[in-house]
A = this chain, B = another copy of it.
Amino acid sequence: MQKVVLLGFGNVGFHTAKALEAANTIDLLQVYNRNNKTLFSEIKAETTTNISEIKQNADVYIIAIPDDAIQEFTKSLPLKNKLVVHTSGSAAMNAIGNGNRKGVFYPLQTFSKNTEVDFKTIPILIESEHKEDSETLRVLASAISYTVKTISSTQREKLHLAAVFVNNFVNELYHISEEIVQENELDFKLLQPLILETAAKVTRLTPKEAQTGPAKRKDEKTLKKHVHLLHGKQAKKIYKMLTEAILKRYKN
C-alpha cells in the first residue's frame, strides 16, 4: 500500500481524493485544507485544518492548491526529505521549497465540483527531482489512471499552453456563440450537438482532416456576410483572425 497525504481540497483536491480512495493499492492517510470544507464529509480519510498535524509517515504528499500559493505553502510544511509533488500544469517543479524531494503529479483535466469524473481516463503527467522517486509516482498514478507519462517541466508548460487553447479559448468561442444566438432569441442548446460532435471528431480525425466551413472552402461571400452580421468589435476581430488562420492552412 502506498501511503498518501493530500494537501489542499479545492476542485482538483476533491476529485483526486475520491480517486485515491477508490484505488485498493493506496491508503489515503489524511487530507489537509487550511479551512474546514463541507465536502470533507464525502471522504473517509482523516481531515485536518492544522498544518502542524500533518502526518509524517506518508510515501507521497500531493499538493493541490493554486499555482501562486505553492512556493509559500511548501516552505511552511513541517516535513523533511519527503516526496512532495504538486498538481499544477504551469508551476515549475522547483516551486516546491527545499528540504524535501520534489516532484509533479499533473492530472490534465478541468474539474468542477458537482461533476463526477472518470479519473481513469485522465492523463497524469509525472516528473521527479530524484530518479528513485519516479517509480513511486508511476505506480501511484497508474493506480488511478490508464495514462501515465513522465515528461519534463519544459514539456509540461507547453502542454499546459496547448490546454489553454482547447479549454479556455474554446470556451470563450462558446461564449461569443452564446451571445450571437441569444441576441437572436435562439437557445444556445441548439448548438450542443454540434459542440459535442466537433470535440468528438478530433478523437477520430486530425484537426486538419476534421475542418469544414466557409474559410476552408474559401467561400468569400459567406465570410464577408458573417463579418457584416457580427455586432461586437471584438467578435469581428476574432472572426477575421481565425478565418485568416484557416485560410492560410488551406491555401493550396
Contact = CB atoms under 8 A, between A and B. Distances in A.
Interface of A: 67-68, 90, 108-110, 112, 115, 117, 121-123, 125, 147, 149, 151, 154-155, 157-159, 161-178, 180-181, 183-186, 188, 190-208, 210-216, 219, 221-222, 225-226, 229-230, 234, 237-239, 241-242, 244-246, 248-249
Given A166-B177, A172-B211, A207-B175, A190 B67 contact: no
Given A112-B201, A155-B185, 18 more contacts: A90-B225, A109-B193, A109-B194, A149-B190, A151-B186, A154-B184, A158-B181, A158-B183, A159-B181, A166-B191, A166-B194, A166-B195, A166-B198, A170-B198, A171-B210, A172-B245, A175-B249, A234-B245
A110 B185 CA distance: 23
B192 A203 contact: yes
B175 A162 contact: no
Contacts of A180: 158, 161-162, 165
Residue among A159, A208, A219 with max Cβ neighbours from chain B (10 Å): A159
Contacts of A169: 173, 238-239, 242
Identical subunits present: 2
Interface of A is mostly: helix
Contacts of A203: 192, 195-196
Nearest to A180: B162
A191 B207 CA distance: 13
Contact of A200 (B121, B196, B212, B213): B196
Residue among A193, A234, A249 with max Cβ neighbours from chain B (10 Å): A193
B181 A174 contact: no
A115 B186 CA distance: 28
A162 B183 CA distance: 11
Contacts of A205: 112
A206 B192 CA distance: 12
A120 B191 CA distance: 14
A122 B227 CA distance: 27
A72 to B, nearest CB: 15
A244 B238 CA distance: 11
Nearest to A178: B207
